[in-house]
């Protein structure tokens, strides 16, 4: 049964994870989101088992930050060396199987919903015009793709490709300097635009 739902602040290291969680997490992206927006979404505990049913990735990320001696993100209260996080209390599932079913549903339902691709493309393209606006959203890579697509007409040619020590491949390009500024000079994955192959690169710069 579920009583009145409330938020309490608990030491994140005292929150017990669910023993089986098949969902993987990108802790690096979660960390970037923390430091952009803060820890603002409470995790959820099942009162019947006393275990976490939503928020495992966020707790794992906090554990990494803690072990590395990094300051906690906004929204985490630091009291006498303890990191207190917002936790939803008052939810009790009928039995452990029902709680585990919710764990799956909480992760899966957002996946199968998909995106309204046309609207997503418009939003990403608009945000690309403001430096850092996509940071922490998980869409930085998609933003780079949109920038490259938008600016591809200004791409003249690949002037030279060569290999330096440590097998770093540098591609020297000649195109709009605004693109270099937006991308930050870094492209980490292979791209294909108008039939032009981009090898993995570590630095892109004007010749």
Q: Which tens digits make up the pLDDT trace of 18-65?
A: 999 999 999 999 999 999 999 999 999 999 999 999 999 999 999 999
How far apart are alpha carbons 104 and 87 in whole angstroms?
19
Do residues 145 and 127 touch, judged by C-beta distance below 8 A?
no
Q: Is 50 exceeded by the pLDDT of residue 107?
A: yes
* Nearest residue to 175 via CA among 195, 192, 150: 150
Q: Domains plus CATH for the chain?
A: 2-113 (3.90.1530), 118-206 (no CATH)
Residue 1 near residue 36 (C-beta atoms within 8 A): no
pTM of this prediction?
A: 0.67
**Between residues 101 and 111, which one has the greater pLDDT?**
101
Residue 119: pLDDT above 60?
yes
Helix axes 27-37, 56-67, angle to 10 degrees: 80
């Amino acid at each position: 049964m579920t009583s009145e739902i409330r938020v309490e602040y608990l030491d994140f290291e005292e929150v017990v994870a669910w023993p089986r969680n098949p969902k993987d997490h990108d802790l690096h992206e979660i960390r970037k989101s923390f430091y952009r927006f803060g820890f603002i979404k409470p995790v959820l505990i099942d009162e019947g088992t006393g275990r976490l049913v939503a928020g495992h990735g966020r707790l794992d990320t906090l554990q990494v930050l803690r072990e590395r001696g990094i300051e906690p993100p906004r929204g985490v209260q630091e009291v006498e060396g303890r990191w207190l996080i917002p936790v939803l209390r008052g939810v009790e599932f009928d039995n452990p199987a029902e709680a585990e079913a919710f764990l799956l549903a909480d992760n899966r339902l957002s996946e199968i919903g998909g995106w309204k691709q046309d609207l997503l493309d418009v939003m990403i393209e608009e945000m690309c015009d403001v430096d850092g606006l996509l940071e922490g959203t998980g869409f930085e890579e998609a933003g780079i793709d949109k920038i490259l697509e938008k600016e591809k007409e200004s791409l003249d040619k690949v002037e030279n490709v060569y290999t330096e020590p440590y097998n770093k491949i540098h591609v020297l390009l000649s195109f709009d300097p605004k693109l270099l500024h937006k991308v930050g000079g870094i492209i980490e994955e292979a791209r294909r635009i108008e039939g032009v192959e981009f090898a993995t690169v570590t630095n892109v710069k004007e010749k």
